[in-house]
Chain A
Amino acid sequence: MSAVDSTAAEHDRSTIRGIFHDYLVKVRGGDVGSLPAVMGLIALVVVFSILRPDTFTGPLNFANLIGQGAGIIVLAMGLVFVLLLGEIDLSAGYTGGTAAAMMGVVMTRQGWPFVPSLIVCLLTGTVIGLTIGLLVARLGVPSFVVTLAYFLGLQGVMLVIIGEGGTIPYRNDIALALSNKNMPVWLGWALLVVFLGGYAVVTWLSNSRRRARGLTSQPILLWALKLGALSVVSIAVVGYLSIERAVNPNITSIKGVPIVLALIVGLVVVLTFFLTKTAWGRHIYAVGGNAEAARRAGINVQMVRISAFMVCSTIAAFAGLLLASRTNSVSPNTGGDVTLLLAVGAAVIGGTSLFGGKGRAVDAVIGGLALAVINNGMVLLNQSAGRVFIITGLVLLVAASVDAISRRQATASGRA
């Protein structure tokens, strides 16, 4: 029985070498996190930047890429909640489409203002999620089957609402701005300051609370490194998006951070907060990790399952709105095609496990960006849609294999 001195382990964490060593140990132990996805994303960006330096790296294309990925990214963030339980929601794409269609009905056809229409949109998602959750958690029908049925059924509902071959245009300025407009340059910088300042203060306070209690805390150096890295990346992004990117700036000026990017960042922060700082979030991980253990710990497993499906579908409704906003209308195809499958792929590529118990909201962003970069870059290389799909499929396979391998590693290095 070796008594490990905890202060010795703590000591070497205060140097860069120690931090790096700690991290290597974690990765070798199978806890790779989003490392493969981030590295893959960087590699993709580098490759396309070399092959298409003129177009791919331009600020116009950069903003474009965010808009292209937004719908999938938001949908994937919702899916993370059900994937964490080890469940699946195949209908999330059409849930988004149906909610966007409902919004179109009240906003365009009935002339409702934006906010009540938005509430109708989100509530449509919540109700759909509630019914899915009840069927899965109460009746015990596998979520794969329930949501497959919803996938088919909601497709029909959309056709009925919209009318065969028709579309519902969006005319509301706010609804259209969501996916298509940019914030004023100053607002982008202001939000960045709030974001970085908030991150710095919250992490600093948490660290000093831990120190005050005599618990092992993040070394100040590591805190500074993380804050520095986050600052460099986000300042670069906002700076790049603040450059004039219109082809002909004299006619219309295009600059500033896309509104949709701020929405995504805001959503990541809120969802991460709920997943990591509340008991409900903790219970989602617990149910996904070991449902029977959660039940014996007195957790209301059914409620956790139902609420996760409700959250997923509500976020899917918002994703549907973003998709419709980008095309200025809802068609029976909004949220259809491969939208849902790409969103699941995005979550998995980002590091969320289909086995449940492992995943984060930010995974959806990383994975969704990777998919958007592949699609965008290959189109710029004049590659056919066929090749884009082939590469996307390969990337997903690689991501899933990394998950499986790291899982094996974790069990191998685990039970000593």
Chain B
Amino acid sequence: MTAATAETSPPPAASEDPILTLRGIHKSFGAVHVLRGVDLDVRRGHVTALVGDNGAGKSTLIKGIAGIHGFDEGDYTFEGKPVHVHGPKDANALGIEVVYQDLALCDNLDVVHNMFLGREETKSRLLDEEAMEARARETLDGLSVRTLKSVRTQVASLSGGQRQTVAIARAVLWNSKVVILDEPTAALGVAQTAQVLRLVRRLADNGLGVILISHNLNDVFQVADDIAVLYLGKMVEQVRREDVTSNQVVELITGGRSGDLGMAEEGSDQEGEDA
């Protein structure tokens, strides 16, 4: 994470070849067909907002990207190469980090332990607490996080915003290339939401690809560069923020189409493939 990257100039080719591409993704849980042919492009230095109604399949999509559960079908390309992600470690190895909707923190461990969970630094096979604590501090400082009194406090005693911060700091600790945030501001107050959104923007300005899931269109229009709309397990549209209005996005989320955006007219060939 280099602070040197200027806000206005994302790394070369930022807008062109996407770092992460999904094509024709399908995923079922038993008889429930949750994802039905999803396409998605994530670009370096861009915040891609993933929006959709409750149950549209947003969390399922990102869990698949993160290797929590595999996709049934479809192409998953990372940095131009087809990849197979079979577990969280595979995704981490590629440089993909996820901040989950439920944060996935261990309440009984402290901030440092949580940030390094599963990837502890060791020195001659023993935990190197000093190195981990110093790096955790550095990362939090790099994110301009000043709300944590001590990185040795148990996560159980942190406020919602502080927990969110820890989860995000964990995601950027690893020189990640893509950071995915599942509703990071859902439980936060006004001030903390603004802080987290600034953080999200800063990640992208530092050249990372960011996927932001949110139900709050204000937030989306504030930080996103691209908006991808998921409707009943289908990606109905991925557009640049400048090209749409808030109302159009609302229509896409609730009905799957808006004017010439979104799915084709009802009753057309699109329905055929659901069987």
Contact = CB atoms under 8 A, between A and B. Distances in A.
Nearest to A357: B108
A32 B127 CA distance: 26
A215 B130 contact: yes
A298 B127 contact: no
Q: How large is the interface on B (under 10, 10 to 19, 20 to 34, 35 or more residues)?
A: 35 or more
Contact of B108 (A209, A276, A279, A358): A358
Nearest to A209: B130
A290 B106 contact: yes
Contacts of A298: 87-89, 92, 118-119
Contact of A215 (B104, B122, B127, B134): B134
A64 interface: no
A209 B126 CA distance: 15
A288 B108 contact: yes
A48 to B, nearest CB: 35
Contact of B117 (A2, A288, A297, A357): A297
Given A298-B87, A298-B118, A6 B108 contact: no
B130 A296 contact: no
A279 B92 contact: no
Interface in A379-416: 410-411, 413-416
| Centre residue among B100, B108, B109, B158 by max chain A CB count within 10 A | B108
A299 interface: yes
B191 A290 contact: no
A278 interface: yes
A400 B159 CA distance: 27
B235 interface: no
A285 interface: yes
B104 A293 contact: yes
15 contacts: A6-B149, A215-B133, A278-B126, A279-B127, A282-B120, A285-B108, A286-B109, A286-B117, A292-B104, A293-B104, A296-B88, A297-B88, A297-B119, A298-B89, A358-B108
Interface of A: 1-4, 6, 9, 29, 31, 209-210, 213-216, 276-279, 282-283, 285-286, 288-290, 292-299, 357-358, 410-411, 413-416
Q: Which 8 A-B pairs have the closest CB atoms?
A: A297-B118, A289-B108, A289-B106, A357-B108, A293-B104, A297-B117, A298-B118, A298-B88
